[in-house]
Chains A and B, each alone.
Chain A
Amino acid sequence: MSLFRIALRNLWFRKLPSFLTMLSMALGVALVVLVLTISGMIERTFKQSDNVGYNLIIGSKGSSIQLTFNTVMFLSEPVENIPYWYYMEFIPGADGRAKEYQRVGGKLGEPDRKGKYASLTSDGFAIPMCMGDYVGPFRCIGTTPQYFELLRYGEKDSAYEFSEGRNFVDYSDENGYYEAVIGSQVASVMKLKVGDQIYASHGKEGGEEHDDGFRIVGILKPTGTPNDRGAFVNMEGFYLLQGHIAPDRDPITGIEVKGSAVAPERDSKLSRVRLPIEKREVTAVLVKGSGMSAIGLEDQVKKSSFATAVSPVREITGLLEQFVTPVTLGLFILTSLVCVVSAIGIMVSIYNSMSERKRDIAVMRALGASRDHVLQIILIESTMIAVGGGLVGWLCGHLAGPMSNIWTEKTTGTTIGFFTSASSQELWLVPGMVLIGILAGVVPAISAYRTSVVKSL
């Protein structure tokens, strides 16, 4: 009979205390793995978001974190809007602003001049976004087809692809301005397909639905970014919805002119009449400039009285460093302490059993077992508890991630696989925890080693 088998039988004989000790070890390791999973997931979400394909977000003055969260992750409360004409200042190209004026129409001062910031965005783009509505539980984003044409995502700068259908267009004969593209999660959660109509609800989740629906013309392939849970509609159609028309404002006081938020006359849903520039607002503008120009642009925008520019990468990294990392570290320390407590539990459990097992140890010695044999048996027992508990905890910790996907996918747009969180920390941390558990057997093993055979027989 091997020493391993002897140790196993001893543990089996004391099933309940052995199980409870193993459980406490399993819980400790599961907690550590879970904390690593959560911190890994947060970091991954942030890292995926920090390669959003643009340098700056232009939005109304206020919290830069809120503007970043709202624009990049579709989280947090919607922010205030900025006028459409201001967005036009960023359109690249000498005639970019003028062309947009010709496309949209309306009132605009100096319609032929170049955008104020056009030279700084000459190598890039400026994509407008309008937010504030919802499709089911998901954010509805009014934007231009450029959103999927020019933006890139992830570490590989991947272009957006469609699992079904195509990108929406500025105007189509079948759907007019009312076309939409939805993210993969929106499609799966709301069971939507190409050809279905979606209706945006105004202002909040579950709010009053607008009368005009958007025809889904494309479903995005999963990207692992927040865009998976976005419903993107043609901005031209978005502006024509009830309540999306900006009122006229007094040029001096800025107070709204009552009854001025009136939609233009349109004879049908396919009418080509657009909302004029002066009635339009945008929530954010995604700007990509070339390298150094982004810094100059940021400074210039910040000097303006009603708009601000934030670097999403800097905001996200700053948030990660200032808030997420310390919290994760705190959690990590706490869970590590849980593991140390579990290890002490192993020690106490085996040590307490020593007093009732002294006679058994003495009998084994009388049968020819050396002190080393006894020491090894006890250490094998603690190893089995620590390794068994560690393995179960590791499995449970990793299974908890995929099992929580229903929730995390919806709230963060990311999914967790079984090995998603397998980080380099885990490679030393989990074995380290198990090692502490094994070492916890040393004290009772020494006690067994020293057992007086003659006194105990």
Chain B
Amino acid sequence: MLEIKDLKKSFREPSGSLISILDVPTFSMKAGEQVVLRGESGCGKTTLLHTISGLLDCDAGSIKLDGIELTKYSEAARDRIRADKLGYVFQTFNLLPAFTALENVKLGMTFARKAIRSERAAELLKSVGLADRMHYLPSQLSVGQQQRVAVARALANQPRLLLADEPTANVDPANQSKIIELIQEVCTQESVAILLVTHSDEVASRFSRIDRFEDLNRATEHTQTSVDE
């Protein structure tokens, strides 16, 4: 379902020198597989997720998602593929404050080449336990509820792969377990593969496949912050 070969990504420093961030000879995931990626802060995990999602161009290599070679496509085409085949859950939830919970989920459907189905959005919110909070704004929801909405939104388009970047970093331990359980449960129901980045041992212990990023990545230089371009 996801196959990465000889993926390389480097950034130019203000001084002009190149820093190699990613050098991944091979990485693959099967359909519906749930994988945890662990590694030090700033080692390039988020950069890898951004590259898989097509938000970042890679310098070399191949990324095949569901049989589609992402690196051959333009940015606009990658946007469409992302909308159709990928779901994204962020560390800081990133719900849009102007939209209700239901609208945030429907927003996930807006950019995909599928019809917007309000019933599906409502069903997803029901499945994450927010049937009575559909018309609440993010500011009216608790932290845990906001992350549930983010999960529902990521799954709105029935993606093939869910990318989750430390989705429990900002929630208390009690909610951590609930959210991970929820993600795993809903993704199993929907046959969606998960690639989840976490620092938490507790979270990692819930997954059968745990990959160490340092083992995958041969790049020696690490970024200070994972979002540097």
Contacts and interface: CB of A to CB of B under 8 A. Distances in A.
A367 B97 contact: no
Interface in A1-19: 1-3, 6, 9-10, 12-14
Nearest to B106: A1
A373 interface: yes
Nearest to B159: A368
A455 B107 contact: no
A13 B139 CA distance: 12
Interface string A372-416: 110000000000000000000000000000000000000000000
Contact of B79 (A1, A9, A370): A370
Contacts, number: 82
Contacts of B82: 366-368
Nearest to A363: B94
B53 to A, nearest CB: 7
Contacts of B157: 368
Residue among A6, A12, A365, A367 facing the most chain B CB atoms (10 A cut-off)? A367
Q: How large is the interface on A (under 10, 10 to 19, 20 to 34, 35 or more residues)?
A: 20 to 34
Interface stretch (B35-43, B109-117, B182-190): B109-117
Contact of A457 (B80, B97, B98, B227): B227
Interface residues of B, number: 32
B94 A369 contact: no
A337 to B, nearest CB: 33
Nearest to A12: B98
A112 interface: no
B110 A365 contact: no
A363 B82 CA distance: 12
A364 interface: yes
Interface string B77-96: 00110111010101000101
A454 B227 contact: yes
B50 A454 contact: yes
Contacts of A367: 82-83, 88, 107-108, 110-111, 153
B56 interface: yes
B178 to A, nearest CB: 23
A363 B111 CA distance: 12
B122 to A, nearest CB: 14
Contact of A370 (B88, B111, B229): B111
Contacts of B55: 365-366, 453-454
Contacts of B99: 9
28 contacts: A1-B107, A2-B110, A9-B98, A10-B98, A12-B98, A13-B97, A14-B98, A363-B90, A364-B107, A366-B94, A367-B83, A367-B88, A367-B107, A368-B80, A368-B82, A368-B84, A368-B108, A368-B112, A369-B83, A369-B110, A370-B76, A371-B75, A371-B76, A373-B111, A454-B50, A454-B55, A455-B229, A457-B94
Top 8 A-B residue pairs of the complex, sorted by shortest distance between their CB atoms:
A368-B83, A13-B98, A368-B111, A370-B79, A363-B94, A369-B111, A1-B106, A9-B98
